[in-house]
Structure 1
Amino acid sequence: MDSIGKTYIVTGGFDVSSREQISTAFEAISLQSPDIHGLVNSAGIAPETLDNLGLPEEDDIFKRIMDVNLYGTWNAGTAYLKHLCTRYPEIIQDEKNREGLGSIVNLTSESVIRADPDMASCNTSKHAVVGLTKSWAKDFVRRGVRVNCVAPGLTDTPMVRNENLDQAMVEELINSVPMKRAARPEEVAELIVFLLSERPFYMTGQVIPIEGGITI
């Protein structure tokens, strides 16, 4: 629970690319906490290897990454927005009191500012999430919902430490960051919590990099 008394539920263990699984998850969450004031779309995947011999990525890899990174964001976001619109119809119709009804934070990456090489599927999916963020921000601001996007750079997560990735390449990437390290997960999390809170009331439709200066 945060300083303004709202509760956030962390959940996982399902496939965000499945509309059915998302619907089931939202039903379970709404039974536990009907007042859902925030959503973070953080699920994302990348190719397990960048060794594509200079060829385009295979179709099945591109599709799977789009299914998770883009359609996963779409599935969860639309489920949440429909929940708000059906649960609070009287607030949504009240122009004076609907501000602060909800907040969505979508996770993308610094590749929306500077495309990563050999990562067409990820670059495309992350750019699409930015477009979706801006569209939702414009469409739902009048309903009291803010939608923003966090764009982390290289972050020290299990995905980065995947044994299938060339760790020498990872270290090279880290050395290219002006701060000479990857982001810590908690640093990204603090920015997300700020955007979920009621403090940035006048902020919506924004893409906020947190990347150690690599895109300067």
Structure 2
Amino acid sequence: MNDILERMRAGELILETDPDYPALYRLFEETMSLVGELNTGYHTADGVRALLERIWGEPLDASVRMFPPFHTAFGKFTRVGKGVFINFGCTFLDRGGITIEDDVFLGPGVQLLTENHPENPEQRHNVYTRPILLRKGAWIGAGALILPGVTVGEHAIVGAGSVVTRDVPDGMIVAGNPARVIRPIDPTR
């Protein structure tokens, strides 16, 4: 099982015919059960954190906050720092690895998508991945999509509804589809 996880994290194309795929699929089922529990009924902030710790497989700082619902099918390659806030309706496809450093804010409906499919129609059921890194203090606006392989720089801002296909430099504001640099952050605003 560790072999397929290492290959997946390394960005190799993972075939549905891989002999380890059934074990991987069992992990998806376990995670989706926990996500269902998270998204059903009311949970205190501590209760949400406890469920996220089970989904992500690591302890979280008490300063981490999330407002469910939340969506993921895997969850094992998500790492979250201190002071992170994740708003309603976010989706993490983390098979390639998602790292969220300290003090990152995610608006409602943000999608972090590390997974992609080959262009070849005969192989399209298979998946390859690239990691996403959200550096310290980044702010991702409502409904933004961060695509595989993207790093969002320290204290950068991604405008609402943006589709981020390239790395975002530190201290810059990007917006649009595809997202492009609008201007540097104005420290007086």
- When normalised by structure 2's length, the TM-score is 0.27
CA radius of gyration, larger in: 1
Q: Larger RCO: Structure 1 or Structure 2 (Cα < 8 Å, ≥ 6 residues apart)?
A: 1
Task: Name whichever structure is richer in helix by fraction.
Answer: 1
Task: Name whichever structure is richer in strand by fraction.
Answer: 2
